[in-house]
């Protein structure tokens, strides 16, 4: 029997990379998974890759109507949620003198506002003793030039978790942050070889993490293995932010 046998999980932005690897592992461990993504073609590919016990719902986590449609689908098909991985997020480079209203609003609308309402709108369907975890980043505690707005958005998630675990304690719903370091996903490719080499050089083991290494930690946070883990920011970064 898998560690998530009979559980229902929702994972946003799960059409590639870490979230897709997590969705695939959750299904292998016995869960039924609902995934979302903005592009229907990528969503269809992800559903096909996962292969079974999965429903894809097209939508943008920054759009509240899309979130409503996601949870209406969950309610209609399963009627409950046990696990939520609020994974949707984005980052763009801009130094302090380059930040515009559009840059700020785009990042905070998805990373902060979108995450808040992703969690809030899930609560009516959430079973007691469930697990919620947010997609953070080592940027929440590191000073990274030209990444200030993104870093601040991820620090806000850490603050949310401290509050929400207290608000949800009567329901015994755990809330944590999973904060990856540099992970080898397609999103890095446009940055170019020099930037990627720089990222690798900052990692003590000298190589980037793999999506599957995030997925196994997500499984830990989702399962009863982490029953006494609540309110933490769990860094999965090969030590990058720790030295």
What CATH number is associated with residue 35?
Answer: 3.40.50.720
pLDDT at 199: 78
Per-residue DSSP letter, 176: E
Strands 32-37 and 233-236: unpaired
pLDDT at 194: 77
- Kindly name the residue from 126, 150, 220, 235 that is annotated as catalytic: 150
**Considering the domain boundaries, does residue 150 fall inside one?**
yes
pLDDT bucket at 242, cuts 50 / 70 / 90: confident
**Considering the domain boundaries, does residue 1 fall inside one?**
no
- HSE-CB at 46 with a 13 A cutoff on CA atoms is 32
**Considering the domain boundaries, does residue 97 fall inside one?**
yes
CB contact at 8 A, 10 and 83: yes
Q: What is the pLDDT of residues 22-80, one digit of tens each?
A: 999 999 999 999 999 999 999 999 999 999 999 999 999 999 999 999 999 999 999 99
pLDDT at 185: 85
pLDDT at 96: 95
Q: What percent of the chain has pLDDT over 70?
A: 99
Q: Residue 36: which of 85, 107, 106 has the closest Cα?
A: 85
**Considering the domain boundaries, does residue 134 fall inside one?**
yes
Containing structural domain, residue 76: 8-236
Q: Distance (Å, rounded) from C-alpha 8 to C-alpha 27?
A: 10
**Considering the domain boundaries, does residue 209 fall inside one?**
yes
Strands 174-180 and 233-236: parallel
**Considering the domain boundaries, does residue 79 fall inside one?**
yes
Two structure tokens written together for 154: 């991820």
**Considering the domain boundaries, does residue 241 fall inside one?**
no
pLDDT bucket at 138, cuts 50 / 70 / 90: very high
Q: What is the pLDDT of residues 90-119, one digit of tens each?
A: 988 899 999 999 999 999 999 999 999 999
Model-level pTM? 0.95
Work out the angle between the directed axes of helices 148-167 and 101-108 (0-180°, nearest 10).
30
Task: For 194, list phi and psi in degrees, rounded to 5.
Answer: -65, -45
Q: Distance (Å, rounded) from C-alpha 133 to C-alpha 139?
A: 17
Work out the angle between the directed axes of helices 148-167 and 115-122 (0-180°, nearest 10).
20
What 3-state class would DSSP assign to 229? coil
The residue among 14 and 243 whose pLDDT is bigger is 14
DSSP string, 48-89: HHH-SSEEEEE--TT-HHHHHHHHHHHHHHTS-EEEEEE---
Q: What is the mean pLDDT of the chain?
A: 95
Mean pLDDT of 153-176: 98
Task: For 58, list phi and psi in degrees, rounded to 5.
Answer: -70, 135
**Considering the domain boundaries, does residue 243 fall inside one?**
no
Which CA distances in Å does 90 have to 11, 64, 81, 153?
Answer: 15, 17, 25, 10
Two structure tokens written together for 97: 């003198």
pLDDT at 190: 64
pLDDT at 145: 87
Provide the β-strand partners of residue 234. Answer: 178
Signed CA dihedral, 217, 162, 237, 144: sign only: positive
**Active site annotation includes 150:** yes
Q: What is the pLDDT of residues 177-217, one digit of tens each?
A: 999 998 988 777 666 777 778 778 889 988 899 999 999 99
Q: How many domains does the chain have?
A: 1
Provide the β-strand partners of residue 176. Answer: 133
């Amino acid at each position: 029997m898998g560690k998530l046998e009979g559980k229902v999980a929702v994972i946003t932005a799960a059409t590639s990379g870490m979230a897709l690897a997590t969705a695939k592992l959750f299904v292998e461990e016995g869960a039924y998974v609902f995934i979302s993504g903005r592009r229907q073609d990528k969503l269809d590919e992800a559903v096909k890759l996962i292969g079974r016990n999965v429903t894809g719902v097209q939508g943008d986590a920054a759009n509240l109507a899309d979130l409503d449609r996601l949870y209406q689908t969950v309610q209609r098909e399963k009627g409950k949620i046990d696990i939520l991985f609020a994974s949707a997020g984005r980052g763009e480079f801009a130094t302090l003198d380059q930040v515009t209203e559009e840059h700020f609003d785009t990042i905070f609308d998805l990373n902060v506002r979108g995450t808040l309402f992703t969690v809030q709108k899930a609560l009516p369907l959430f079973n007691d003793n469930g697990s919620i975890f947010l997609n953070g980043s080592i940027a929440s505690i590191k000073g990274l030039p030209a990444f200030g707005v993104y870093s601040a958005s991820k620090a806000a998630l850490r603050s949310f978790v401290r509050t929400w675990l207290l608000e949800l304690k009567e329901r015994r719903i755990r809330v944590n942050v999973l904060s990856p370091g540099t992970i080898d996903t397609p999103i890095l490719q446009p940055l170019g070889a020099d930037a990627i080499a720089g990222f690798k050089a900052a990692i003590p083991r000298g190589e980037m993490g793999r999506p599957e290494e995030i997925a196994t930690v997500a499984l830990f946070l989702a399962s009863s293995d982490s029953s006494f883990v609540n309110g933490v920011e769990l860094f999965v970064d090969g030590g990058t932010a720790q030295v």
